Structure 1
Amino acid sequence: MTSESNPTALDPWADLEARVTACRRCPRLVAWREEVARVRRRAFRDQTYWGRPVPGFGDHNARVLVVGLAPGAHGANRTGRMFTGDASGAFLYAALYRAGFANQPVAHHRGDGLRLRDMYITAVVRCVPPQNRPTASEIRACLPYLVEEIQLLQPSLKVIVALGRIAFDGVRRAYQQMGHALPKMSFAHGAQYDLGPGLPTLIASYHPSRQNTQTGRLTPEMFDRIWQQVRALLPDPPPRPKEDSHHEPERLD
């Protein structure tokens, strides 16, 4: 097969996305994501759920990487785009818009025009887990995808924001898997760590889950301060991204 007949052969991002969306490594997650897509929530009964692993999206030349836990059952597992279509995403994208990383404060579906500026968003686990709790083996099975994303972003990457303890631990394990000796780190909201020479800064944040935002554990003001920390590490304006590097066009599959 030539590169002309297989466009992913020349595009590492397209190749990664193809492998992620076709992944069936974890039987429990495959069964659950497909059951959720089949049964559906009453409010979305007339919609076709994505029901597959959800790839990351955003600017492929980003200086900022945001890492979440996993797709939401009726958010990303329905829409096919990270943090899209649920309360967590509404909280996140409103904050990113205020901070200048997104062109709009809302995210409803893949074709809604949302674009990220200087940012790429992904998750430690690509399939929705039951009760939002992936097992240790499921996290390990998905970790190579995060490693690959970090490696692809490495030429420009300056800051990683880990949303929640599992994401924080996942980033740490990804760098250890790449052979880096990291400083001692513990999760705390707003904690900031220099991962080493030539490596990005890691910032920890509470996850914008309903459990955190509705109880006041994570407020909009607290979340805004996280993105202010990020901005402080990026003193110069972000480079103007190419049209095809930061916007994922609507897919009809």
Structure 2
Amino acid sequence: MPDPHPITGEPFDSPVRPGTGWPGDPAPAGTRVARTSAGVRRSAAGARDLAELDARVSVCGACPRLVGWREEVAHTRRSAFADQPYWGRPAAGFGDPAPAVLVVGLAPAAHGANRTGRIFTGDRSGDWIYAALHRAGYASQASSRHAGDGMALTGVRITAAVHCAPPGNAPTTAEKATCSTWLERELALVEPSLRSVLALGGIGWDAFLAAARASGWQVPRPRPRFGHGAQVDLVTAAGRRVRLLGSYHVSQQNTFTGRLTEPMLDEVVARL
């Protein structure tokens, strides 16, 4: 018999259910749980607003490899966080319910959002993006440590191409395709207020462009190439113009090596 899940108390071979009592849990009792790619499509299509979408994302169990990995990490934990409970579920989007700006990252970090329950929270990547958003006036705080720390975003929503922490930070093609349905629905819900998008890294860039095209947006052909500072104007299905900007991802691989610096990130954020 496997050990119980550290948050829900249920065996790992049971679906993670809502109503865990975790602070800020977006999923009330009775939230629909998608367990297949077809289930994701049905569940996403039925989300009437961002709150309902976030609830459904936060209990998704459609990708067995990602479910197994995120819960194994939540069970074993990193020694530095051995005394802390782990979220161990998908990290939904976070921020303003009517954003002018959408930030699209790659996926939750195993000991970041997979631990804290909030995207880009509790790791070095989050330190960078929230600090930049704070300097630009979008974020109430310069750092985000845990889901109950009072962080608030104004005019910005942050999301990801993949909502579960993947092994080696590398989701498979099939996993990205399954999760893309969530992004397409998210895009439909934020489109009325959206003026610009910041894609962090090539995967975020490609995921957003694919979601935009699937949503009936006008996307140039050939597909615009990612690069730091890359910019392209897209036209939504409703005929609105939205600017897409690219930035190197705020991962330690880029920030520790100097490939991405604070002035570089600030310059792109200013153009949003």
- TM class by shorter chain equals 0.7 to 0.9
**Residues of 2 paired with 1:210 and 1:145: CA distance?**
27
Normalising by structure 2, we get a TM-score of 0.80
Q: Residue 186 in 1 paired to residue 228 in 2?
A: no
Q: Summarize the alignment of residues 169-248 of structure 1 with structure 2, pairs less than 5 Å apart.
A: 169-183=206-220, 184=222, 185-196=224-235, 197-230=239-272
2:138, 2:124 → 1: CA distance? 19
State the AA in 2 paired with 1:17: D
Q: Distance in 1 between matches of 2:109 and 2:264?
A: 22
Distance 1:127 1:22 in 2: 10
Greater than 6 Å deviation, 4+ residue runs: 5-10
Figure out how many residues of one structure are paired with residues of the other and give that number: 226
Whole-angstrom CA distance in 1 between matches of 2:227 and 2:101: 19
Question: CA offsets, 1:77-99, max 9 Å, x none?
Answer: 00010100000000111111111
Partner of 2:128: 91
Alignment of 1:60-99 (within 5 A): 60-99=97-136
Q: Offset at 1:14?
A: 2.5
Q: 1:175 to 1:77 in 2, by over 3 A?
A: same
1:124-160 CA deviation, whole Å, 9 max, x = no partner? 0000001100111100000011111111111100000
2:97 paired with 1:55: no
Is the alpha carbon distance of 1:49 and 1:154 closer, same or farther for their aligned partners in structure 2, counting shifts above 3 Å? same
1:217 Cα deviation from its structure 2 partner: 0.3
CA shift, 1:13, in A, is 2.1
* Separation in 1, partners of 2:47, 2:254: 42
Alignment of 1:97-116 (within 5 A): 97-116=134-153
Letter of the 2:130 partner, please give it.
Y
What secondary structure, in the 3-state scheme, does the structure 2 residue paired with 1:195 have? strand
8 Å CA contact 2:188, 2:215 repeated in 1: no
Percentage of matched positions with identical amino acids: 52
Tell me the TM-score normalized by structure 1: 0.86
> 1: CA distance between counterparts of 2:31 and 2:84?
30
Show structure 2 runs of 5+ residues with no match. 1-28, 33-45
In structure 2, what is the Cα distance between the partners aligned to 1:150 and 1:191? 20
Residue 178 of structure 1: CA displacement? 1.3
Q: Which amino acid in structure 2 is aligned with residue 201 of structure 1?
A: R
CA distance in 2, matches of 1:93, 1:21: 21
Q: Which runs of 5+ in 1 are unaligned?
A: 231-253
Distance 1:6 1:49, change over 3 A: closer
Rounded Cα–Cα distance in structure 1 between residues aligned with 2:156 and 2:83: 32
